[in-house]
Amino acid sequence: MKKKQKEFTSKPGHTETVFGCAISPTNATMMATSSFDATIKIWHTVTMELSKTLTGQDGVIYSMAWSDDGQRLASTSIKGTVFIWDVEMGEVSGATCNQRLCNAQQRDPRRHSSRSSSTSS
């Protein structure tokens, strides 16, 4: 058991807490996970090999859901954004923002101060 555990933990994965996990409705060997690290990772469930990493959504990704045809994922972030991902291409095919959340974050001075301090490091 320890050898398997060590092998799994040495593979590439999320760098922060995983908040969501969903199996494709059309392909049980494909699983998506979402994380505090602002990424979605697509895994092959039999081998647990990482197939793809989806990046570009700003903020913690708390939840996601597959489309009925298993070709797209919808993800939501703490920043109020909703992205629609083309899983095969690994690209965003659509995005929107909850105006109340997005407008509040634009006015929040803490958002600007933390962003400027993180870019200066």
Q: What is the C-alpha to C-alpha distance for residues 74 and 47, in angstroms, rounded to an integer?
A: 25
Q: Per the domain annotation, does 17 fall within a domain?
A: yes
For the cut 60, the answer to whether the pLDDT of residue 22 exceeds it is: yes
- The domain spanning residue 82 has which CATH number? 2.130.10.10
Q: Per the domain annotation, does 121 fall within a domain?
A: no
Write the burial class of residue 91 (CB in 10 Å: 0-12 exposed, 13-18 middle, 19+ buried).
Answer: exposed
Q: Per the domain annotation, does 120 fall within a domain?
A: no
| pLDDT tens digits, 32-87 | 999 888 889 999 999 889 999 998 888 888 889 999 999 999 998 888 888 999 99
Nearest to 41 by CA among 25, 68, 67, 20: 20
Per-residue model confidence (pLDDT) at position 66? 96
Number of structural domains found in the chain: 1
| pLDDT tens digits, 86-98 | 999 988 888 777 6
**Residue given tokens 């920043």 in the structure block:** 79
Q: Which residues constitute the domain of residue 87?
A: 2-115
